[in-house]
Amino acid sequence: MKHGFTLIELMIAVAIFGLVMSGAIGVYIMCQKMWHATSLSMLTNRDGNMAMSRLVYGVGANSGLRSASTIALQTNNVYGHPYPFADTNKYWETGDEPPAASDPLHYAHVGCGYGSDGSWRLVISNVVDGVHCVDYNSKMRNILFCPDTNQTTTARSQRILICNYVSDAVVSTNASGVNIRLALIRKDGLFTSSNQISSFVLMRNRK
């Protein structure tokens, strides 16, 4: 006598298999979302910590705020020049690559008569490096290191990135050093990650 599965048994087996697969796929999608959100958060935290480190200690062979002898903060009539001449390249929302720091099409105007939009410039000087500056361009949400205070095309091409995705940057100076507070926001599809970091930088070589 031959034995086999009845139609009802097959239907029950298929239903159970479907439930197991649905649960497994749901867990997989949930894990993917968690991994994506965690990765984005790690990137945002890394960006904030790296930005503060570059501001304090310098980038490449260039000294940072800690080694400065004098620091002058310029906020009045400092205006962020957008790339490419419009507010359409919002890489922080679209997921596109930010423009290079050396791109001459975006920079911070100083004393140009446009007013102020939250951008600023720190003019830093010390015996070793001479005079250079750090610009926050609120239009492009980045902070750039500039080898000098000139705004010629050549000088712009030598800029070095400190940080992108900076939604807000507030600085204040006193006789001892500089207070810095940065807010970063990264978006990738449905995911958003933010980070805030602040520090007081004591100038070692102040006069």
pLDDT, one tens digit per residue, over 93-108 is 888 889 899 888 888 8
Does any domain span residue 179?
yes
Does any domain span residue 4?
no
Does any domain span residue 184?
yes
CA distance linking residue 130 with residue 54, whole number of Å: 18
Is the pLDDT reported for residue 184 higher than 90?
A: yes
Does any domain span residue 76?
yes
pLDDT of residue 128: 74
Average pLDDT for the chain: 85
Does any domain span residue 24?
no
Does any domain span residue 108?
yes
pLDDT of residue 67: 86
Q: Which domain holds residue 92?
A: 38-202
Count of the separate structural domains present in the chain = 1
Does any domain span residue 15?
no
Is the pLDDT reported for residue 143 higher than 90?
A: yes
CA angle 167, 173, 175 (to 5 degrees): 165
Does any domain span residue 103?
yes
pLDDT of residue 82: 87
* 77 phi, psi to nearest 5 deg: 60, 40
**If 0-12 CB within 10 Å is exposed, 13-18 middle and 19+ buried, where does residue 121 land?**
buried
Spell out the residues 6+ positions from residue 141 whose beta carbon is closer than 8 angstroms to its own: 92, 164, 165, 166, 167
